[in-house]
Structure formats: C-alpha cells, structure tokens
Amino acid sequence: MGKLRKLIAPDNLHIDFSPSPKQYELWKLLQPECPLCGGFIQQQLIGHDQNNNPQYKPFCGKCGNHNIPQLILGGGAAGGGKSYLASVWLVSSCIRFGEIRAVVARKTLKSLKESTWNTIRMVIKRWGLVEDVHYRVNNIAGTLRFWNDSVILMLDMADQPSDPNFERFGSMEATICAVDEVSEISQKAIEVLFSRLRWRTHETFMVSKMLLTTNPTTNWVRGRFVQDDNGDRVTCREGEFYVPFSVFDNPDIGFRQTYEAALNKISDQATKERLLYGNWDFVEANDMAIYGKFDGSKHLITGLKEKVYDPTRPLITVWDFNVAPQMSVLLAQVDYENKKLYIIEEILAQLQRNMYANPLFFKPYLFLAFCVGTTDFSIRRWWCSFDCVSSKWYGVVSEDSI
C-alpha cells in the first residue's frame, strides 16, 4: 500500500551541508543567481539571425555580468567531493523548485547505480527524508520523484553505433543535469544533452546549467576547459567555467586523511599524479617503452632547452613518420662526459597546418645534426634549421632511466 500512498512534504527538513572553500566556489556557479553579486539573471535581446529571428543573451540585471555559468567542470584529483556536491545540488534544486526534471548521467547505468545514484540516496536519507513518504524510487524507470513532483532521472550516455547522433535524447526535456566521469563520454553526447535542458528553465534557473565532473584526462575535456596540447591554460568559452579540485578540498577531515594515505600507496607515478594531485600533465607509460624506468617527476624538466642546449654540439634528430594525427621529430644532444641524453625539443607537424616535419620550414637552430630515421635507422648528415611547432616536455635520459 505504501507504493500507492500520496507523497507529503516533510515537517522538519534538516539540510546538513558545509562545503569547503573550493566546493563553495563551484556551488555559486551552479545557482540561479549571478555568481559575482547574487543578482537576478535576465535575458537580453542582442539582435536577429539571418532569418530575422530574435537572439537573446543572459546577463545579470544588477551588475551587468554577461558571463553567466552554464557548462561547469569540476575536475581534478579523486576524493575532492565533486560527486557529493553534484548530488547535493540535484537534490536541493528539486526541493527548492517544484516540478523540475534533474538528470544525473554517466556512461553506463550500471556504473551510475554503483556510484552517484547511491550518493544521491545517501544525501536524501541524511536530510531526514523517508522513502515512500517524501519521495519514491522507481528502479525500473530509473527515477526518484519528490512530493512536489520534481524528479531525478538516471541516464546512460554511451556512444551507440545505431544512434550516432544521440537521437534517443531528442524527446527529452530536462531542467538541470550533472554528468559524472565526463571523461568517459564524447563531446557530442554532452552538447546534444545540453540542448535538451529546456524544461521550466525560464521559471527556475533562467539558463541551462550542466555540471561535469572528472579526474584528469587527455581527451576533449582537457582541451576545452583546462589546457591545450602545449600545456598552456585555455580561456574557457563564455558561459563555461573550470574549478580544480584535490583531495585536500574535501571538508571531511577523517575521509581526507584516510583517502590521502591510500592514494599515496599508488606505485604508478602517472596514476598518482592524476588521482592525488589532480595533475593534467600526467604522462602514461606502456610496456613497449624503451626506457622502462622513466619517471616523469624526475626526468621531465621545464626549461631544459635554455639550461643545457649547446650550439657547438651536433643535434640528433629522431623522426616518426606518422600520417595521423601528426608527424613528430625529437631533437636531442648527448653529454658524453656525464652519460646523459637531453631531449630538448619536440616538433609536431599536424596535417591541418600543411606541414610534414620538413626541416626547411623552420629557423632558430643552425647546426650539424645526425638524422636517425625510424624506417631504416640510417645515419645521415644534414645542414638544416628548425623551429618548434609545439614543444611541451623537455626530458633528460640518464643511465638510471634505462
């Protein structure tokens, strides 16, 4: 009979949420008000398109801010409380506004049910809400409905060959959305889902809002929100924001201490850089690596070229004749006295630049170089001049990395 009983509002709702400074920074970006002054968001007519349809842009009616958060990334180390904050945001928004539709998404429903969905139910229980009294769960439909008809819907976002354009999202109408582990999901899926955030938006948040969370990755998420292929920080598009997290931003001291100790036990340096420090510059190793003991934290040195490059010594160039995504050349010098090999430049020739690692295109170095070809490993002498198209890492290889 409990399943048929009408849901009722709670008499005593106890919301217990004390965010850390970093969580609060992200929290302000998710609210319906302007994150700068707390003013009310309005839509401003900015012109008309080619078909004479009006075009609008959100702005703050109090301070005039036009950079209103819509697509927000909370990214970084594990254990920072990103998923917990997402759960609190979805639940509190459903309590605050009646009849809204909040989506919680991940690549697969299985992983979603084992992670964020459990966190959402934990938050609801801690706040004193009782199942089948204040809210109802439908495990078949993947929904959690509150007494005020607001609902949280589960959604899988995996790419499907039978649905390359994500037409399964076509009839969906949602108000807000939180996507966990967005690094597992394609950019196209995110953009299609974002276009479906239109249900009661004008009456509530005034703009579409989507929260993305992830640990550091090397795919489209990093290039759009964090840094480009050269390691330079990107300027986010208007309406898009990035808030970095680490385990030290979790307000739960006990959790922070025990989880930090667990992360410190990770032996793989790249994994440790990602999960403990939230480093987006991590370099993954593989079993085919020539230098099996290579350690990025030890052998990668910023500004190495300026420190060790000697124009009187020959440069060794190593060519990798790839067609896609790019051809590359490494420039190296050998310190025979100290038995060290310095990798001082990485030249990337990308197809869209119409350049094919041809040394005649580049200028700053004039030297006598040994060219080691990756096809026949022949050694030739070249008089040539190089320029760095893209240089990210400069490394030192010594005997302890072999």
Task: Enumerate domains of the chain plus CATH numbers.
Answer: 21-28+55-254 (3.40.50.300), 296-401 (no CATH)
Alpha helix segments (H runs only) across 18-115: 21-30, 82-96, 109-113
Q: Residue 326 has what pLDDT?
A: 67
Distance CA 344, CA 367 (A): 14
Show the low-confidence residues of the chain (pLDDT under 50).
1-2, 288, 353-402
Q: How far apart are CA 134 and CA 145, in angstroms?
A: 9
Pairing state between β 101-106 and 151-156: parallel
Structure tokens at 66: 């036009």
C-alpha to C-alpha distances, 292 to 14, 130, 296, 354, 402, nearest whole angstrom: 55, 55, 12, 35, 6
Question: Which tokens go with 230?
Answer: 């050269």
Nearest of 184, 225, 185, 264 to residue 75 by alpha carbon: 225
DSSP-assigned letter for residue 314: P
Kind plus residue range of the DSSP H or E element containing 44: strand 41-48
Between CA 105 and CA 120 the distance in angstroms is 12
CA–CA separation, 80 vs 157, rounded Å? 24
148 near 6, Cβ under 8 Å?
Answer: no
Contact 41, 13 (CB under 8 A): no
Query: Residue 192, SS3?
Result: helix
pLDDT tens, position by position, 140-183: 999 999 999 999 999 999 999 999 999 999 889 999 999 999 99
87 closest CA partner among 30, 147, 130: 30
pLDDT given at position 236: 96
Per residue in 237-283, pLDDT (tens digit) is 999 999 999 898 999 999 989 998 998 898 888 888 888 888 888 65
Cα–Cα dist 23/250, whole Å = 8
- How high is the pLDDT of residue 287? 56
Spatial CA neighbour of 227 closest among 213, 214, 217: 217
- Kindly list the distances between the CA atom of residue 174 and the CA atoms of 64, 99, 195, 200, in Å, as whole numbers in the listed order: 27, 10, 10, 8
Examine residue 325 and say whether the peptide bond preceding it is cis (omega within 30 degrees of 0): yes
Quote the DSSP letter at residue 214: E
